[in-house]
Amino acid sequence: MARTYRTEAIVLKKHKYGEADNVLSLLSPRGGRVGAIAKGVRKTKSKFGGRLEPFSHVDVMLHRGRGSLQTLTQAESIESFDAVRTDYEKLSHGAAALDLLDRVAMEEHSDERLFGLALATLHAIAAATGNYARILSAFEVKLMAIIGYRPHLDACVICGASVSGGYFSDRAGGILCAACVATDGSCAPVSDPTIQRLRHLLGARMAEVEGLGFDEASDDDVARILRGFVACHVQSRLKGREFLERAAGATSHRR
């Protein structure tokens, strides 16, 4: 890759650096996760304006120097996703998706599928009028499949027997039959409808997810299974997901 290059990117995170700079975590289809410094971006007369906020889909020019951070020299907005940033529910679920992307995307690793999923998820959240938890679940299960942890949902992951409901093993990465449950200590009960819904989420386009005919209890069961599955294999604290769980708990307590 040339020392100076142009690429699309999604801004995953930013934090202040020095008096006027920001350090950015970007997701690029060409370079995976990229750490970049945007110099002078916090100055009133910065040429970047508000183009480099989290969620922004941008066209950027980056320069690879000797350090670990690349230098961002140009940025043009492709889509700002203001609809996500200005709505609390969209913002909180979108932030959980970006947080997970920041944890799993690899540096110097081209992955157009991961970038495409990220962009499709932001479009789905921006357009949605509800069912944000379902959209996040669809994003999570698709992301896990892309990075090599596609859950086994058609038969027992250990012996291959047909299963109708039963147990889901985070460690083994799929459903277990009653005979194989004793071989795994990380199982959680799972119903056949929940397995069916996980299959639907894997196969559906992100734009279709909000309209799938799930009820709230089904969405909760799917989210529960995926929460343990993602945590087992990502092995990193996911602050965005933790925030959503605390908020949901506080809402339930008020009720």
Same domain, 19 and 42: yes
Residues 59-91 pLDDT 10s: 999 999 887 899 999 999 999 999 999 999 999
Same domain, 188 and 249: yes
Same domain, 99 and 130: yes
Same domain, 189 and 118: yes
pLDDT of residue 140: 97
Same domain, 56 and 108: no
Same domain, 114 and 69: no
pLDDT of residue 242: 75
pLDDT of residue 161: 92
pLDDT of residue 178: 86
Mark which of 34, 59, 80 sits at the end of a domain: 80
Residues 162-183 pLDDT 10s: 887 789 999 999 999 988 998 8
Total tally of structural domains belonging to the chain: 2
pLDDT of residue 155: 93
Same domain, 106 and 197: yes
pLDDT of residue 21: 93
Same domain, 43 and 165: no
Same domain, 109 and 68: no
CATH of the domain at 239: 1.20.1440.120
pLDDT of residue 254: 44
Same domain, 24 and 141: no
CATH of the domain at 52: 2.40.50.140
The one-digit pLDDT tens for each residue of the chain (255 residues) are 568 999 999 999 999 998 899 999 999 998 899 999 999 888 877 788 789 999 999 999 999 988 789 999 999 999 999 999 999 999 999 999 999 999 999 988 888 999 999 999 999 999 999 999 999 999 999 999 999 999 999 999 999 998 877 899 999 999 999 889 988 877 889 999 999 999 999 999 999 999 998 888 888 999 999 999 999 999 777 777 777 777 665 544 444
pLDDT of residue 29: 94
pLDDT of residue 175: 94
Same domain, 49 and 134: no
Same domain, 195 and 112: yes
Mark which of 80, 96, 128 sits at the end of a domain: 80
pLDDT of residue 38: 94
Instruction: Say if residues 134 and 156 touch (Cβ distance below 8 Å).
Output: no
Mark which of 37, 52, 80 sits at the end of a domain: 80
pLDDT of residue 86: 95
Enclosing domain of residue 45: 4-80
